[in-house]
Amino acid sequence: MIVGCEDKKIEDKEHVVAVDKISDELDYVLVSSYKDYKLSNGDSYKAETISINLDTEEMSNLSMTLKNNIYLTTKEFKLNENNEVTNGSLISYKYYESDKYISIIEEDKNYFNNMYGNVVNKTYVINKTTGEVLDNDNILSLYKLEEQDIYDKVKKSEVEEADYVVMYIKNNGYLLYINDKDELVLMYDYVSDEDEIKKELILVD
């Protein structure tokens, strides 16, 4: 299952005000180790927090939200007598940074009875100049695309069962992010034999 970020509108370039880092000595994205856990199936889970080094209220709120996601979910872990996690929500983050944008991908994986369950992804694409989180329409506009262009590009690609994929993402949504090469990447779910598989497709390279 994928979840998009909330709607935001890009400001007119004439009215954009550049924002500063909180600390020039630190990177734009700060990752900190929080706690290591052992899962009941023998796997390990490393809980890490992530924050954005941009001095805006929106970035402060986002950083707090991302940290709280880790704090709250780990507090709700169910542990056995060996202090191993038996049930819980395993959140992890990865990020990409290009010259102008930061993309954060959140993966929330359900874990129960020694097994991994449903995975929910969220993406946050951040303009490093303005400190704003961009929605899908804003991101597409950066590449002079519209939503229909996504469907056309999927159909022209080598994606398995492209027509089915287009129908599925029309009904269930999709995510976008910008990687460290400034490529626009589509994230979507593909359901096969009742298994939900996470897929990616580079829309613009």
Question: Which residues fall within 8 angstroms of residue 179, CB to CB, at 6 or more apart?
Answer: 96, 98, 103, 185
Residue pLDDT, tens place only, 116-133: 998 999 999 999 999 999
**Residue found by looking up tokens 């954009």 in the block:** 16
Tell me the pTM: 0.88
Q: What is the pLDDT of residues 144-175, one digit of tens each?
A: 999 999 999 999 998 888 999 999 999 999 99
Phi, psi of 11, deg, nearest 5: -75, 155
Report all structural domains of the chain as residue ranges with CATH numbers, in order of start. Answer: 2-204 (3.30.565.40)
Cα separation of 51 and 123, whole Å?
A: 14
Distance between CA 29 and CA 42 in Å, rounded?
31
Strand, helix or coil at 61? helix
Between 191 and 85, name the one with better pLDDT. Answer: 85
What pLDDT, in 10s, does the model give residues 167-186?
A: 999 999 999 999 999 999 99
